Structure 1
């Protein structure tokens, strides 16, 4: 029996075209590989949901990194529709919700408080990485502690909202 690798799973996955950042060996490949079927076992609805949520989270991260790599002149006008901190909060609330939902779906045995905490830490650490990477983008300052604070607060709100939604749906 051949063992599936991340590269072969991405090439054959119906989800490989869903994310513009899906490349063989990349983070999406890892998510597909970990969320793939075990030999002789059908994927459960929970496993499919977990895979979809992890793919969505990796796509979200790719979009955030892409937007962070643009100079202010290259950013779409929509980026300036609201205040900078509001944009950070809203974007990272999406990331917090996706991370908490993906963690909960892939590890249902873990308690809700731990899932929320891990999601906040994961997304806030990504926010710090994003701020650090912006220091190398021409025209961007990066390393802004207030931007990172908005990122962490947004991640917290999103992770907590995922828990409230979970309580409503059972």
Structure 2
């Protein structure tokens, strides 16, 4: 599938900022629920993998949104990497604090927050690499 076959709305930063907002609301909803007491398979470190993956996805959404902005200074790689990583690190810290108030959640877990930050950084870097392969596309 070529880039030209995507609908033009796919290349609007507002679409990607909206997707990021949905990601953020889903995070708040998921972390605001008590952990179910159903029997589960306990895989060591699986929680960290979930944190890493979820924040990797958030970083990709936010990185694409920033990449598609019309202001080239604000879409530059160093600026967007800094914004994505710091923003998601703050969101991860707030999420950990939020979980500390939810019954059956531990919250304030440094390991979870580190997984959040590493996922954010990996997502932003991966996005930069992948977006470098796309041809420049001007939005209407």
Number of residue-to-residue matches in the alignment: 124
Contact 2:60 2:127 in 1 (8 A): yes
Cα separation, partners in 2 of 1:105 and 1:46, compared to 1, 3 Å: farther
2:45 counterpart of 1:72: no
Instruction: Give the TM-score taking structure 2 as reference length.
Output: 0.79
Q: Distance in 2 between matches of 1:106 and 1:118?
A: 14
Q: Which has the higher contact order (CA 8 A, sep 6+)?
A: 2
Q: Which moved more, 1:131-140 or 1:66-75?
A: 66-75
Aligned ranges for residues 146-161 of structure 1 at < 5 Å?
A: 146-161=111-126
RMSD (Å) for aligned C-alpha atoms: 2.4
Residue 90 of structure 1: how far off its partner (Å):
0.3
Residue 166 of structure 1: how far off its partner (Å):
1.0
2:6 counterpart of 1:55: no
1:7 maps to which residue? Answer: none
State the SS of the aligned residue for 1:106.
Answer: coil
> Runs in 1 of length 4+ with deviation above 3 angstroms?
45-48
Q: Distance in 2 between matches of 1:134 and 1:107?
A: 37
Residue 48 of structure 1: how far off its partner (Å):
5.8
Which sections of structure 1, spanning at least 5 residues, go unmatched?
Answer: 1-44
Aligned ranges for residues 1-80 of structure 1 at < 5 Å?
A: 45=8, 49-73=12-36
Residue 108 of structure 1: how far off its partner (Å):
4.2
Q: Which moved more, 1:54-63 or 1:82-91?
A: 82-91
2:62 counterpart of 1:99: yes
Which sections of structure 2, spanning at least 5 residues, go unmatched?
Answer: 1-7, 136-140
